[in-house]
Chains A and B, each alone.
Chain A
Amino acid sequence: AQSVTQPDIHITVSEGASLELRCNYSYGATPYLFWYVQSPGQGLQLLLKYFSGDTLVQGIKGFEAEFKRSQSSFNLRKPSVHWSDAAEYFCAVVPYGQNFVFGPGTRLSVLP
């Protein structure tokens, strides 16, 4: 079945540590790929997106993501996490000719 998966429901990292959040999709052709962040009580904010070209994309707040076609993945990374990064992160895809499809989300906690 076509889907977007985020294998980690909850991740805890220490402040200053590196972060990688995983996203996998199962669609025949490479869809448009997005990462969003949601702080408590807020709407979703776009972090970055990938349509084509360079497979490493830079976003806001120091985030980056790498598209790997062979793994159908679009993982989000940050070299050094700040306490303000604690939030929920959603991967989203747009298959050709379809609407946005969101993953279930990964909640990030940051230890001081």
Chain B
Amino acid sequence: DAGITQSPRHKVTETGTPVTLRCHQTENHRYMYWYRQDPGHGLRLIHYSYGVKDTDKGEVSDGYSVSRSKTEDFLLTLESATSSQTSVYFCAITTGTPTYEQYFGPGTRLTVT
């Protein structure tokens, strides 16, 4: 357990509305990640952060933005939600070397109607 919480845990929203998901960690890890999980695709990286105000795109970043104003918080925003963004979203952290392990939050199930 790496002290990662996500909020909300479940959300239903309508197409076209903005949505923000929050990830909070308590152990001061530098690297944080947002993934989406869809059947048959495993986890796909949306965005990641390597420090406060330092973020970069992953493989499925279109339609998503992120912000990290504090080490402990990493926000994922869907500017205008679409049905294709219905998914389970996971936040993760990576410990530094030498252990280099990734730990996950409990997930947020988002449904866009």
- Contact surface of A with B, Cβ cutoff 8 Å: 4, 9, 32, 34, 41-46, 49, 51, 90, 92, 94, 99-100, 102-105
Contact = CB atoms under 8 A, between A and B. Distances in A.
Given A90-B42, A99-B33, A104-B40, A32 B106 contact: no
B104 to A, nearest CB: 4
A44 B101 contact: no
B45 A99 contact: yes
B48 A99 contact: yes
A46 B42 contact: no
Nearest to B43: A102
A42 B107 CA distance: 7
B106 A43 contact: yes
Contacts, number: 44
Secondary structure class of chain B's binding surface, majority of residues: strand
B90 A44 contact: yes
A104 B107 contact: no
B102 A46 contact: yes
A87 to B, nearest CB: 14
A102 B104 CA distance: 13
A80 B67 CA distance: 45
Contact of B104 (A4, A9, A43, A105): A43
Nearest to A107: B39
Nearest to A45: B104
Contact of A90 (B43, B100, B103): B43
A46 B103 contact: yes
B100 A105 contact: no
Contacts of A32: 100
Contacts of B45: 99-100
Contacts of A105: 42
Interface string B88-103: 0010001000001111
